[in-house]
Amino acid sequence: MLEHQKNQPVVYDANGVPFTIYKTTKPTKSGPKVYWVLEERFTTGRRRLLNNKSLKAAKERADKIRAAHIKGQAARMSLSNGQWQDVWLAFEVIRNAPNGESLYSAVHSWLECIHLLDGKATLFDAVKFFVENHRGNGPKPTRIRFDEAAKLYHAFKVADGKSASHCDNIRSRLNRLATKLPAGVMLDELTAGQLEHAVVNLGLRPKTRNEYKITLGNLFTWAAKQNPPLVPKGFNPGKEMERCRIKHGDVKFLHVPELTQILTSLPAKRPDLLPLVALVCFAGLRPSEAARLEWNEVGDDYIRLPGFKSKTGHPRQIPIRPNLKLWLALWRKDSGLVCPDVSLEHVNAAIRRHSGVRLSHDAMRHGYGTHRQRVVNNVGQVAEEMGHSMAICRRHYLNAFCTDTEAAAWFNLVPQKPANIIELNNGQAEAAGLDSAASAER
């Protein structure tokens, strides 16, 4: 077979632009063939060898390249120096990439991706998500309906040892959401917009809406961790939902006349709620904490609330005030719940129905914090007793409109008879067995 032969080059002047043309013979299966090879560097910046069947064809091709080069120069003149520098840097990046794309095709692909993402994420985030969720050997998500996933999530929380009230809260929220979502909708089909619409249609206040959104975010996080997963990794429309802005105003707290009316009315109509009210109003416990409290955790001078029964997860010790000691004596037992058979649903509504007192959110507990802060004048002590942060206690209770007389009267409310509540002055308190601790604290 003949060897490849290349003759002396010919320099062709394409209207001021020189091109080098080689006449070369190449061996082929059908015999040797003559080609005219055109050498050019203008199109890509790299040396290219272009085969042509004749010298005339090579020259015509050189003329076309020269004409395209002149057009490029005109386009170059329309760019500023900074813009042209960006083009050149981009060109260098593309030229050093292993995929062999041109600058035009790379920019065109980038633009198509940006249009598809529509501002929902960056191109890097989209590629990263794809790589993380499309592994050939990874488990594929198992599709499941939203209502079925909600039941499994609730069962997981129960098995994990979460409190009954916490689990009931999760079940109630997800069940209510299921009624506002399309029937039989799959978990991995839901969008943040659908969930947002469902939460808004429940007619909730901003704070409660945020709590629903947190529950949904936790549901999708749990679903992605299952084996096999129930949604793709990183798929969490619950966390994409916009949080409501909450206006923090002054807290509304219960006053002494209103508490007196509640304590007077409940013994005859709803005696089962009386221990709960006493623990919330005179020990600062949350209703859920009071409902979980047992008698073996109530001593003579302190209530020791275990961490697993506290909302914050931290144990705390609450002093038993003299008047609370008299209340607890009415129901004292060796064991069992202090508030047996008490349902936390619609407690405020039940109190209003039987006493006529309308309670705002946490009004009884805020009443304790407000009056207790006035008595001890120590934010840190009140925060420790209530399981609050000091910042919350400062914001809620430090400058509340409560007088020393009102604070003293709050903690002097004691039972005389199961169905009769009275307010005692200092002398009556001593006669009823109240020591001088209340007077000293005042």
d(CA 372, CA 281): 10
Q: Which fold does the domain 256-441 belong to in CATH?
A: hpI Integrase; Chain A (1.10.443)
Contact predicate 418/267, CB 8 Å: yes
Window from 119-123, 179-183, 316-320, 426-430 with minimum mean pLDDT: 426-430
Environment class of 97 (CB within 10 Å of its CB; exposed 0-12, middle 13-18, buried 19+): exposed
Beta strand 33-40 with 48-52: parallel, antiparallel or unpaired? antiparallel
Residue 411 has pLDDT above 90, yes or no: yes
Residue 168 has pLDDT above 80, yes or no: yes
Q: Provide the pLDDT for residue 417.
A: 59
- Considering only CA atoms, which of 289, 316, 286, 288 is closest in space to residue 303? 316
Q: What is the mean pLDDT of the chain?
A: 83
Strand runs labelled E in 136-251: none
pLDDT digits (tens, 9 = 90+) for 191-201: 999 999 999 99
Domain extents for the chain?
A: 5-78, 146-240, 256-441
Contact predicate 280/365, CB 8 Å: yes
Q: Please count the CA atoms within 13 angstroms of the CA of 362 that sit on its side-chain side.
A: 13
d(CA 229, CA 330): 53
Average pLDDT for 388-410: 85
d(CA 105, CA 97): 13
Q: Output DSSP code: residue 402.
A: -
pLDDT digits (tens, 9 = 90+) for 254-313: 999 999 999 999 888 889 999 999 999 999 999 999 999 999 999 999 999 998 888 888
Question: What's the predicted TM-score (pTM) here?
Answer: 0.53
- Considering only CA atoms, which of 307, 266, 298, 252 is closest in space to residue 279? 298
pLDDT digits (tens, 9 = 90+) for 108-117: 888 888 888 8
Q: Provide the pLDDT for residue 43.
A: 63
In sequence order, the 6+-apart residues with CB closer than 8 A to the CB of 2 are 25, 27, 32
The architecture in CATH of the region 146-240 reads Orthogonal Bundle (1.10)
